[in-house]
Chain A
Amino acid sequence: MPDLLQLLETLLANPWVILGIKLSVLLILLPATLVVGYVELKVMAHIQHRLGPMYPGGFHGWAQTLADGIKFIQKEDIIPRAADRMVFAAVPFLTMMGAALAFVVIPVGPQWIIEDLEVGIFYALAVSSIGVIGVLMAGWASANKYSLVGALRMAGQLIAYELPLVLAAAAVVMQAGSMSMVDIVESQRPFWLFNWPQGLSFVIFMVAATAEVVRPPFDMPIAEAEIITGAFTEYSGMRFAFGLFAAEYIAFIALSALATTLFLGGYLPPIPALDWEPLRPLWFLLKTSSILFVLMWVRWTYPRLREDQLQRFAWKVLVPLSLANIFFVGALKLTPII
């Protein structure tokens, strides 16, 4: 933890990094949230045999999420009387920040990166779990029993899923021999589209990432049929929009981008002939979007697991599997394949 704090300190001492983060949040992440939110509405609707939003903005309801955002901003800001006001109000900042900070190290192209940290992947995984502290705070500060149950579920889920997530990423680090994100992408050059020696790590990473961003089938902390909206039950208006929706979508995009970087060759094109510098962000976006699409597909297909079943699955299946996977990658490392 002190290492991470030191790292954050040195990182944030650089004004260009701060500017980069601010600009990317304002110009890329918030609009991206709206776009991904809109696409999710549409994907959900078509999976469910509906049309989804059709009117706002004219063309296929493209402005639906924008209108939703404006509506959220207009709403009255309600803080329950029994709530711990300071903590309650601080939550959306924390959940948003945790999700957004991971973007500092994600390479959209070899030059298109805010800061290519030497410990890039370590940093990305560490900051992406800051949001959980926000959820825990929301649970305690709301003075609501549903919030408390939701927050504790979230904490339990984090402990269960952080380990497989980190172990899956560790296998990639072993392959690349570096924690820098650009190095990791470059190490996948021989494989281009899919880093097949990491197939198992990819599956483990995706399952753990779904649990990390609290999307079905692992959305127990906000299971609306059981505990209303979990830790965010008492939130409304803008705090709800930023604390839950925006944070969830940013984390969702961040983890998909991370998965793209670790397993799908990041900004590398699908075939070597197309390796042309200006096109690289396009490949990155395409790959990230496909992961986002698959995760949406999963979300609208499966029911929700139970908290104890998730714990059992994480500790009895995913952790042993990811340990075995590390041995497997270690063995591959002795061969000339990687």
Chain B
Amino acid sequence: MAKIPDELTKARVTGAGTLRTEEMILNVGPQHPATHGVLRVIVTLDGERIVEGEPVIGYMHRGHEKLLEQRDFRQITNLLSRMDWLSGINNEIPASIAVEKLMELEVPPRAQYLRVILAEINRILNHLMFTGSFGLELGASTPVMYAFRERELLQEAMEMVTGGRMHFGFIRPGGLKEDVPKGFAERVLKGIRQLIKYIPDYENLLLGNEIFKQRTVDVGILDPELALEYGVSGPILRGSGVPYDVRRTDPYLIYDEFDFDIPVGAKGDAFDRFWVLIQEMRESARIIEQALEGLPPGSHLGQVPKRLTLPEGEIYSRAENPLGELGYYLISNGDAKPYRMKIRTPSFSNVSVAPHLLKGIYVPDMIAILGSMFFVVGDIDR
């Protein structure tokens, strides 16, 4: 267990000699309704005002990096999809890309297209989840149900292809595990159309709501320079106005063939981050429509040897996960297993900037800020 810093355990006494007030240390989490799992935040309170907030992580550490050293290159995808459990496919893709680059494997165009489609569906699934949970944290309990209604159609499409709803394990070095079944495109299009139809509902219920604005505008302003210093990425960085998206800056798969915009926020407050999240769903839907249109026939899996033995070497492979930049640093010593695989997860870097935002704010703002940091605890601790 993490040791609590000494200065946090001793409450300070403040007040200008007249009325003695004491600071109170409140332990939020590891089990708390708003921490989506087991994030713990030690906050020092002066009344309702937070003097200091210190996230404590590590309650869900499962030793993924060590476990990966015991798996061959087909098995690791199954582990990786369990890091950020909301976006399994997105976690699997860069690992396969790393293997393919080291082995110089050819990935057929159909597999490339399908990877993009699945990754973007997964991105929408993830964003819908956070759309709902952010509303829930601010006390609006209805948007989450709407979000799950839209999620269900796309979730079914994923289930149809991969057989799973969370841990897909569908990406293989060289392509995909299987081809998509008949009727897949129609299913996805139906889900996308429903999503596009109902996004204005979310915007009205949340973004257009006066109370929502009061709770989020100018709350938790993240300075873009501070964000870059901490390695913040994804919708949170874009909310601060930095148009950084790995799909655009370092295109992988075939993202350079599609036409999509990168929404950026103006101020970097919780409202902007949430706005970016909603707009990204629209862009993902655009990408999926284009990809479904141009989906070429052919094989879903390239020429792959039965036993995947990587040549000696190292590679850094990265991708735009729904929550930010996900990177794998893979070192191979010529074995069938990775010698070392360092994982750079988006949530870890994103949450590490939180202490700067949790200063001098009220307790409800803490929930709004943590909610707008869009983290998955499994992705922080892995």
Contacts and interface: CB of A to CB of B under 8 A. Distances in A.
Most buried by B among A145, A216, A303, A306: A303
Contacts of A47: 142
B235 interface: no
A146 B137 CA distance: 16
A47 B143 CA distance: 10
Interface residues of A, number: 30
Contact of B34 (A153, A226, A300): A226
A300 B141 CA distance: 6
B362 interface: yes
Contacts of B214: 305-306, 309
Given A219-B139, A224-B33, A225-B138, A305 B211 contact: yes
Nearest to A306: B364
Given A149-B48, A304-B211, A228 B24 contact: no
Contact of A226 (B135, B142, B206, B367): B367
B85 interface: no
B142 A225 contact: no
Contact of A225 (B33, B145, B146): B33
B362 A307 contact: yes
Given A300-B141, A302-B209, A303-B209, A223 B364 contact: yes
A303 B363 contact: no
B366 to A, nearest CB: 8
A50 interface: yes
B140 A307 contact: no
Nearest to B34: A225
Nearest to B135: A303
B142 A304 contact: no
Interface residues of B, number: 32
Contacts of A220: 364
A227 interface: yes
Interface string A42-53: 001001111000
Contact of B139 (A49, A223, A308): A223
Interface in B75-119: none
A153 B362 CA distance: 12
B364 A145 contact: no
A311 to B, nearest CB: 11
Interface string B251-262: 000000000000
B63 to A, nearest CB: 31
Contacts of A44: 141
A301 interface: yes
A217 interface: yes
B206 A225 contact: no
A326 to B, nearest CB: 27
Contacts of B365: 306
Interface in A205-236: 216-217, 219-220, 223-228
Given A145-B24, A302-B211, A305-B211, A225 B137 contact: yes
Most buried by A among B24, B145, B212: B145
B140 A301 contact: yes
A149 B363 contact: yes
A50 B137 CA distance: 20
B26 A303 contact: no
Most buried by B among A50, A153, A300, A306: A306
A49 B145 contact: yes
A51 to B, nearest CB: 11
B246 to A, nearest CB: 32
A228 B142 contact: no
A48 B214 CA distance: 23
B26 A228 contact: no
Nearest to A48: B145
10 contacts: A48-B141, A48-B142, A148-B24, A225-B136, A225-B138, A226-B364, A303-B138, A303-B206, A305-B214, A307-B362
Interface of A: 44, 47-50, 145-146, 148-149, 153, 216-217, 219-220, 223-228, 300-309
Q: Which 6 A-B pairs have the closest CB atoms?
A: A304-B139, A48-B145, A303-B140, A303-B138, A225-B34, A225-B137
Given A145-B24, A217-B139, 15 more contacts: A47-B142, A48-B142, A145-B26, A149-B26, A149-B45, A220-B364, A223-B364, A224-B33, A225-B137, A303-B138, A304-B140, A304-B211, A304-B364, A307-B364, A308-B48
